[in-house]
Structure 1
Amino acid sequence: MQTSLLTELFLPLALALIMFGMGLTLTPADFKRILIYPKAVAIGLFNQILLLPIVAFGIAKLFQLSPEMSVGLMILSACPGGATSNLITHLAKGDSALSITLTAFSSLITVLTIPFVVNFSIGYFIPGGEEQKLEILGTVIAVLVITIIPVAIGMLVLKKAPALALKWDKPFRRISLVFFILIVLAAILKERENIVQFFIDAGPAALALNIGTLSLGFLVGKAVGLEFKQGLTIAVESGIQNATLGITIAATLLVNSVMTIPSVIYGLLMFGTAALIIFWGSKKA
């Protein structure tokens, strides 16, 4: 994907607005809940930060994805769930407080882990691809600017003007959905000549990653004795990734349209599995 107005301005701005909308729902108390749910938060972060990239790496090898597709899948695995996972958890009758807490912490931690996961995958899957690697400090700053700072501004609005934050919450949720659709359509349009083949090549791997991490998240939670609602929440946080961030990293920081495809396909598929989770969670509740 060549550098353009889309990759240089629209993608980062759209993601920043989405993260601002998420900040409108966060309070400092969400960061203190680690003291209330230490085991659940630890398991959730373990799944998101460590287990997910390991599973993605195994799937990329198992499905023999092309080097660029493999890196794209690894980029996606390094991105936290974002506001989408909070919404799905709420609709599925999961533990919304735990979901928000995990999103808050994972968003902070992945600012540091994303460049390392991406650079490892480029070095492994694309030998001699050093020119594509992310510059660590520059990437940390870029991710901070388009994710953490907008979240902090949203939290500040909630603290100083809670009525305004409440008024803006629904519009920004709708804006987030619209922006996600536009970003996906733009990525599909850019690769329209190859998109069917990309679905054939990367679709099974993306679906395997989605179902695999959802299942692992729930099973790990159950194995350590978490209650159903917390296990469901960890499953959602493990299996619902911030596809918008994945597309932004691939298109804007790496300037590679093929690497956006796993995030595009995953972003479309995960809403199908999310509908099943919402139905299952609501029925159990």
Structure 2
Amino acid sequence: MSNSTVLLLFPITVAVIMLGLGLTLTLEDFRRVVRYPRAMVVCLVGQMLVLPAICLGLVVAFDLRPELAIGMMLLAASPGGSTASLYSHLFKGDVALNISLTAVNSVLAMFTLPLIVNLSVAGFLGADSSIGLQFDKVVQVFSIVLIPIAVGMALRARFTSFAVRMERPVKVLSVIVLVMMIASVLSGLGEEVFRILGDIIAVVVLFNLFGMAVGYFGPRLFRVGRRESIASAFEIGLHNAPLSIAIAMSPTLLDSTEMAMPSVTYGFVMFFTALVFGFAVARRARASAADPAVTTTRP
């Protein structure tokens, strides 16, 4: 399959991934928000406000060139993905909270993502740049993200057993199309990949680690429970890289291979950093459980 064909299939790629997400969601996941008011508010503030600010500080501090800086901001504006629930399960986080956060973040991101991307384009390339997510492009992002999620949720509600059976095949298909997307990005950049990787690897790793740290210690400062804080750490720290890759690469959206490179790098890095962070949090939890003074002062 040619690279141009893969590019044209990007909207379908995102739709498949979002359909898979929708198959895991129910209306209860949105209703559950009222059961975690403190955790939800702290997590959403961290996701929507604190993390983009941290990302902006990193790209400015490392003086990334405009396309890479916009790619990083696009990644920061993307919601969490299903990977967060997996890591939350592995390290005894509150998976139900993860699912609810993913559901709410996916909806909110349709409004905050275009805003952050357009402000980034104006700030790094100039207000007169032709790149950006204008209204028609925002509608397209909305249609390829929320509509498949809604379809998946409808299938889950109406044909529950079928939806449950389809979860695994759709996840496998999502991995296949993600590999195709990454291959398209790498082939489009050629030998320049290694130079770009050298420019952004430190920023990507720091952004990932800061995201998980904010997601964990922010809720703990507000006396949110440990399991909910672990869920928050992975939800804020592990973003939906396929979505940001597709938005960056799609010929009808940003159409920039270079803007996709931060998300491609992040997609590889986060699996390893999340494991390290998870083991560190688990070790901290064991130490706290062994210290009576800690267990009596922390929820």
TM-score (norm 2): 0.89
Distance 1:194 1:149 in 2: 36
Q: Does 1:60 align with 2:59?
A: yes
Match of 1:233 in 2: 231
Q: Do the aligned partners of 1:218 and 1:235 also contact (CA within 8 Å) in 2? A: yes
Q: Do the aligned partners of 1:93 and 1:278 also contact (CA within 8 Å) in 2? A: no
Match of 1:264 in 2: 264
Query: Can you list the C-alpha shifts for 1:79-106, whole angstroms capped at 9, x where unaligned?
Result: 0012222222222221111001111011
Of residues 114-123 and 167-176 in structure 1, the stretch that sits farther from structure 2 once superposed is 167-176
Runs of 4+ residues deviating >6 angstroms: none
Match of 1:178 in 2: 176
Deviation, structure 1 residue 21: 0.8
Q: Rate the CA distance shift 1:84–1:140 in 2: closer, same or farther, 3 A.
A: same
Larger Rg over CA atoms: 2
Which consecutive unaligned segments of at least 5 residues does structure 2 have? 287-299
- CA RMSD across the alignment: 1.7
Instruction: Give the SS at the match of 1:52.
Output: helix
Distance 1:281 1:170 in 2: 29
Which consecutive unaligned segments of at least 5 residues does structure 1 have? none
> Structure 2 counterpart of 1:180, which letter?
L
Of 246, 249, 270, 1:248 maps to: 246
Of residues 165-174 and 229-238 in structure 1, the stretch that sits farther from structure 2 once superposed is 165-174
Distance 1:102 1:64 in 2: 32
> Structure 2 counterpart of 1:155, which letter?
M
Match of 2:22 in 1: 23
> Structure 1 counterpart of 2:30, which letter?
F
> Structure 1 counterpart of 2:255, which letter?
V
State the number of aligned residues.
281
Distance 2:207 2:76 in 1: 9
Distance 1:105 1:149 in 2: 15
Distance 1:69 1:107 in 2: 23
Distance 2:155 2:144 in 1: 17
Distance 1:158 1:15 in 2: 19
Q: What percentage of aligned pairs have identical amino acids?
A: 33
> Structure 2 counterpart of 1:238, which letter?
I
Distance 1:20 1:93 in 2: 26
Deviation, structure 1 residue 109: 0.6
Instruction: Give the SS at the match of 1:255.
Output: coil
Distance 1:12 1:89 in 2: 29
Distance 1:92 1:188 in 2: 32
**Correspondence 1:216-231 to 2 at 5 A:** 216-231=214-229
> Structure 2 counterpart of 1:274, which letter?
A
Q: Does 1:202 align with 2:200?
A: yes
Deviation, structure 1 residue 43: 1.0
